[in-house]
Chain A
């Protein structure tokens, strides 16, 4: 069957980069399986409990880059108790023991200890890249170990992390010989930072392309850093507080004009709202702008800024921009592909269906949306669906739970139905507002490419969930909270769950008995019941409703690190 020597096939496989494709390739025949596994360098594990580190290492000994995800998505919203799991130490330990030449580790929603970072930093000579998203469990001591020991570090990227800051000295731990940094993001760190050490680090990093600073970096340091690194492509500004008549500000303005490579801007964690004019020269080349952590910027300032951003492809912003501001975005940003509008929590700030309709009309390339709004109408959603059938990600969150269409008082079934019918490439959908089983009928019928669905406070009966499970053939992740789906929905097609990564159900109608039945029928699923903190007496009554259930397919059985409050049935 193979007319070519293995080396040739391997060379061909080098051009097959996506994990999906490589997985497909490995299924063709034993020979291809072997060639593929020995040459695979980059491995993505969507659920760290689906497989053991030893088996991953055994199959892919040439592994250089590992991506791991731990906790389920709803952990982001405090729905998962603190020490549910997701510790990465066993993975790092296993990798360290093996002869894997790990160069890159990317973690999402995992618990990372200082010991783990220390072990990581000492075990892999060529370690180059550490990316931690929504992780926890470490302090700046761990970062100091990474800085000190990873001689060829290129990337240290911390996103949405709450670190117990000790001091800002970790930045001084980068040795003078470290000149390889390409990307440094510590914007989420709360504490002070050694500014002199930071300046020296940036000065000796000629390849630095991405730098995201935290709040503790003042304006004059920013100016000095930009002087040293005019080649920056991605900049995250920490503190932007100053007196507009000051010399520091004038110097910064001049320096920013020289930074012609900046394409991505974020931060402004502290800002004086009236002095953003310094940024305007940079705006004309920006493709990515994230002002979602900058509640200090008022709507009018935002609008002024946006008017300069004609090339924007990605925009993350707060709802203080208002419908009017979104109108300006629609008018100005014709290249826009991704838009996220977050709630600012300010009472008068709001976006509504108007803003969304304007965007859908004005931005033909938009395909990814996350939109927190005060209200939505069916008519608006139908218009959006007509204007734009490109959506791959459509996540709508109406802040008022179960709010109907305020004009017709109807549920939003028809609106979402129009979206799924029109957007044939939709892969991710989040629903909100008042919704009946009907919307799930539409989703089951039309959302053929749907991979991830988030449901909250929706539906009337088991039928709703069944429409989805039966209809969405490509469904991988389903997460449901506070919806009336029970045992019938859960148990009708148990085989479905082995085709999915995971299912989360909380505050629904499933009972302990139902979950037990499922667990018995499907030994290759871990069905975890997570007990609430204040459930002092969890009786073993089958009819008791389960507060939180998380199930996922796995090749390695129940996990041994589950805490007391997690029962694996």
Chain B
């Protein structure tokens, strides 16, 4: 039916049995709707020439390969170690009705995080805020493991990701008197 062309479908183009070079005839009955979620993540092109080739650029999917997270964290491959840790934290933004959740483990640094937050809340100017706190309308702050609210952007990314328990995008006007620890201040050690 012609309407099929207009049907919204999740999947790689050309998978309808027109040969991507992979499928043999026995696979033409494959349910095209399967693995829709992973299709989105999946940029792979299978090696079709029979050569033994490792495809290092294939996209990651949650939980694949099935190696337990303890083992991943001890693995040689930095990429595995970083991407496997699930670090979901709640994010609230002043004025937004719902909180969101974001996986810090999926981001490589502050600019990346800022972009993701901007997308999530449809607000702008966070990247600037992270670089220079005084210039933007919003102040990104986070609650650390000790329960203190800190200004985001001071410490190295990895340290931040480890210690951040929740994030808040606060309006600058609310920031005064909130009790933030000032930039660079030493915390009194126990």
A: residues with CB less than 8 A from B are: 74, 76-79, 82, 134, 160-162, 188, 269, 292-293, 295-296, 342-348, 350, 352, 372, 374-375, 397, 399-401, 403-404, 406-407, 409-411, 430, 434, 436, 454, 456-457, 460-461, 481-484, 507, 509, 533-534, 536
What separation, in Å, do the CA atoms of A162 and B74 have in the docked complex?
Answer: 11
Q: List 27 A-B contacts (CB under 8 A).
A: A74-B63, A79-B62, A79-B63, A160-B71, A162-B70, A295-B75, A296-B76, A343-B65, A343-B75, A344-B75, A344-B77, A350-B52, A372-B67, A399-B65, A400-B46, A400-B55, A400-B58, A401-B42, A401-B64, A406-B50, A406-B51, A436-B26, A482-B35, A482-B61, A483-B34, A509-B31, A509-B34
Q: Is the CB of B35 within 8 A of A507?
A: yes
B18 located at the interface, meaning its Cβ lies under 8 Å from any Cβ of chain A in the complex: no
Cβ distance A530 to chain B, nearest Cβ, rounded Å: 13
Cβ distance A109 to chain B, nearest Cβ, rounded Å: 10
Q: Is the CB of B77 within 8 A of A456?
A: no
Please give, as numbers and ranges, the residues of chain B lying within 8 Å of A372 by CB-CB distance: 65, 67
Q: Which residue of B lies closest to A354 (CB)?
A: B52
Q: Which residue of B lies closest to A74 (CB)?
A: B63
What separation, in Å, do the CA atoms of A144 and B34 have in the docked complex?
Answer: 50
Contact pattern, B 35-78, Cβ under 8 Å of A = 1, otherwise 0: 10110001010111011101110100111111111110111110
How many chain B residues have a CB neighbour from A under 8 Å?
Answer: 49
Q: Is the CB of B98 within 8 A of A536?
A: yes
Cβ distance A342 to chain B, nearest Cβ, rounded Å: 7
Per a CB cutoff under 8 Å, which of A79, A161, A481, A483 touches B70? A161
Please give, as numbers and ranges, the residues of chain B lying within 8 Å of A375 by CB-CB distance: 52
Please give, as numbers and ranges, the residues of chain A lying within 8 Å of B52 by CB-CB distance: 350, 352, 374-375, 406
Q: Which residue of A lies closest to B77 (CB)?
A: A345
Please give, as numbers and ranges, the residues of chain B lying within 8 Å of A347 by CB-CB distance: 54, 56
Q: Is the CB of B69 within 8 A of A345?
A: no
Contact of A410 with B70 at beta-carbon distance under 8 Å, contacts A347-B56, A374-B52 already known: no
B30 located at the interface, meaning its Cβ lies under 8 Å from any Cβ of chain A in the complex: yes
Looking at B80-88, B164-172, B174-182, the stretch in contact with chain A turns out to be B80-88
What separation, in Å, do the CA atoms of A401 and B22 have in the docked complex?
Answer: 13
**Most chain A beta carbons < 10 A, residue from B44, B48, B75:** B75
Q: Which residue of A lies closest to B39 (CB)?
A: A482
What separation, in Å, do the CA atoms of A295 and B66 have in the docked complex?
Answer: 18
Cβ distance A443 to chain B, nearest Cβ, rounded Å: 18
Per a CB cutoff under 8 Å, which of A76, A295, A403 touches B68? A76
Per a CB cutoff under 8 Å, which of A77, A403, A411, A484 touches B63? A77
Q: Which residue of B lies closest to A372 (CB)?
A: B65
**Most chain A beta carbons < 10 A, residue from B44, B51, B56:** B44
Q: Is the CB of A160 within 8 A of B35?
A: no
What separation, in Å, do the CA atoms of A78 and B70 have in the docked complex?
Answer: 11
Per a CB cutoff under 8 Å, which of B22, B33, B50, B69 touches A484? B33
Please give, as numbers and ranges, the residues of chain B lying within 8 Å of A461 by CB-CB distance: 29, 31
Q: Is the CB of B63 within 8 A of A78?
A: yes
Contact pattern, B 92-114, Cβ under 8 Å of A = 1, otherwise 0: 00000010110100000000000
Q: Is the CB of A76 within 8 A of B66?
A: yes
Contact of A460 with B67 at beta-carbon distance under 8 Å, contacts A79-B62, A482-B35, A534-B101 already known: no
B24 located at the interface, meaning its Cβ lies under 8 Å from any Cβ of chain A in the complex: yes
Please give, as numbers and ranges, the residues of chain A lying within 8 Å of B186 by CB-CB distance: none
What separation, in Å, do the CA atoms of A350 and B52 have in the docked complex?
Answer: 10
Q: Is the CB of B98 within 8 A of A346?
A: no
Q: Is the CB of B54 within 8 A of A160?
A: no
Q: Is the CB of A342 within 8 A of B67?
A: yes
B79 located at the interface, meaning its Cβ lies under 8 Å from any Cβ of chain A in the complex: yes
